[in-house]
Chains A and B, each alone.
Chain A
Amino acid sequence: MLKLEHLQKSYGGRPSVADLSLGVAPGEVYALLGPNGAGKTTTIHCILGFVDPDGGRIQVGDVDALADREAARQLLAYIPEQVSLYESFSGLENLRYFSELCGRRLADAKLAELLERAGLPAADHTRWVAEYSKGMRQKVGIAVALARQARLLLLDEPTSGLDPSAANEFGRLLRELAAGGVAVLMATHDLFRARQDASRVGILRSGRLVRELEGPEIREQDLEAAYLRAIEESASSPA
């Protein structure tokens, strides 16, 4: 569903993403792990087309994302660390606006159902977003992704700042989505959630993918030890 080939991006001569290649298949939850400044967000911004990469290829479904940014965006949904919504609109209204923007006119009942599916209780649907907690906003973000039937979900630190139970619920939703055939790319430094939710983990350092762990590897290994080892090894080896 998503394929990155030799992606490169540097800021002022300092490489932020260097020769990054990875793929995410439908139904897969790919966790991109790495310390701050490893290039996780830049990678996601490149896929979204917010940042123009210096080189490489990005393919979303059958679309060359660098050639046709808009067509690629049609296929994906994006949930940043802080889901940004319109404060003076309710969750339902926000959802309606965003879904209509991608050409889906849904009845209010259907919108409410999506919000419920995302875990937002019906009582909160018509309150202004200004009163929402971070977790509630995340849920609206998920609902937006559900509404537009995105094939690829890009998440940037989705669980940072969520309390454990909210994070847990969020993980459950992700797995549900993936089970429905959505490809998920999640940038995070939350090792616990990566182990819980990811089917594949990539460890990024200074813009390079230094290690990939798959399926059982993640759960069998001590992920934290593997992570620290990967980071240290790459630091000592000549870049």
Chain B
Amino acid sequence: MRRLYIILVMAVCISIILFVVAFFYIDTHRHTTFFYNIYQNQNIFSTARLDKYNTEDKIVYKSETLTPFHSVYDKHRRNLSINKKGLKVHSYNKKHLSEGVSMNIYIMRVDSSINFLAVGHSNFAYANRLPMNKDFVVFEKDAIISYFNLVDKYDFKLGGLQSIHALTHTYTFLPPHKSDLEVWIHDEEIIEIAGKKIKAVCLKIKLPDKNEIYVWINRWTHIPLLVKEPRSGFKAVYQETQKRITAKRYTRESDEYENREIAFKNKDISLSGTISVPKGEGPFKAVILAWGPGPQDREALGMFTDIADGLARNDTAVLRFDKRGIAKSEGDFSRFTGEDLISDLSCALDFLLKQEEIDKDRIAILGHSEGGYSAAHLAAINPNISACIIMAGVEAVNLPDTDLEMMWDFDKSATNWNEKYMNDISDTAKDTAEILKSGKDWALLLHKRIFLKKCRLDIEKKSSDIIRKLGVPTLILRGGKDTVTLPGHIELLEEALKDGGNDVYEIIYFNRLNHFFGEKVEDGTHRTHLSIDKNVIDTIAKWLNKNLIVAPEPAPEPPAEETASPEEEETPEEGAIELREIEEDPPEENISRKGVL
């Protein structure tokens, strides 16, 4: 009996060894790895590893791009599965990852159509069977995996100019865009890659926006060696090993204020942040910052770093913190709803009220984009908020996107939209709404468990109801070049404020600025971040000084005519007006103001 056990154990051990050996053998023969360095404007931006697997029926490409310079995500994973028969795309999966956060895109071929699913944190979009009659490649110009797919599809025997149908996914919650790429052999030359001279074929790709991309591929193996898009400064270069690169975080410090790391609790969840407190004698007026959509930390792509710095220099304490489940804050961002967000902001306010150096009667809240809604909501329900600042509206109309990198390119990609694509968007909206009709919190789509609650609550929420309840002084800022919120959105906000009887509001347009009130900065040292225009911060600081004033000693009320200041006398009831106080700094045409002061 004992001998039998020994034999059995030996058999199991030998089987395991054979299995492991078989795995290694199979992997060696069916798997190849390639490395690339990716440059943006001469600076190294990311490094990519691409694995190619040959299975019985499919060619599977898997890539992982490390992007320490990306504004939000550290890693981008892509999987592309191609049927060997006819080299048809079977499925495509894209994942953007950062600390505890992921954004997933799934595209799956079903007969002559595709299924599309986007899961961005606690949001989602779904399209069932979008028509896709033609064979296609998946093409994203900054993803090295796309060039493998494209080179596979180009018929070298036929040669010449070939039109290849492509699917490009740009906006997280919008379906992939269909277009045609023109590809042809441009040249043959010897290029030097990784210290070796290699005979290469140069393929030229003409994109629908007329941009041209050059791809040098190995003459014999057809492996992409060098990819260049001269106009955008994008370049991918083949490497023999993967290089490790790091980027610094964008921070700002000054002797005029102190940045303190803080943490407060919302029930069991600990939320971490930074409070910037001016040096000198308090108590100081204070501002809580509320972010726009997506996985944002306390810096909000550098926007809050700049705002906190600018306001703290102007004797204002600023509290900013990481969203639930992001960076150092605890919680699950994939089940995060608008209600949780308001609750977290409310706890931040409670934290501020407990601080000795903060003047409890002079606390304001500032929200950017979707954060404008959160800010208005808290200001409407909590009497401890004395003023509210709404930057760039209260919601992103028609763009439930959280991918800010893509938003910057919105104008360019929008020009390629056609009627067919608008139909795809419409179908996606319908299919997504159909899923939400179930009223459930969870659903199973394409074998993935999807959280529905946030999406449903977002649709049900009515921002105008909240704005009507907003009784505190309110400042609304809008960039004239904002392509995310519609211009009419601000008028609706104003109407709601008037309906609610709020007569202490001001609307300021920064005509040359966009949704983010600043520029994207790619300096090759720090993570990609935003630099907010100084005029915006100065305007906020001045407005806060004017509206968050220390309560005066009670005095007998003088007659109404005598109290009116010269400024108030000059102010017309309605319409855009220029104010003298900001004329000297920015050019007059860049800022216009409107409102009842």
Q: Answer yes or no: are A and B bound together in one complex.
A: no
Binding site for B on A (CB under 8 A): none
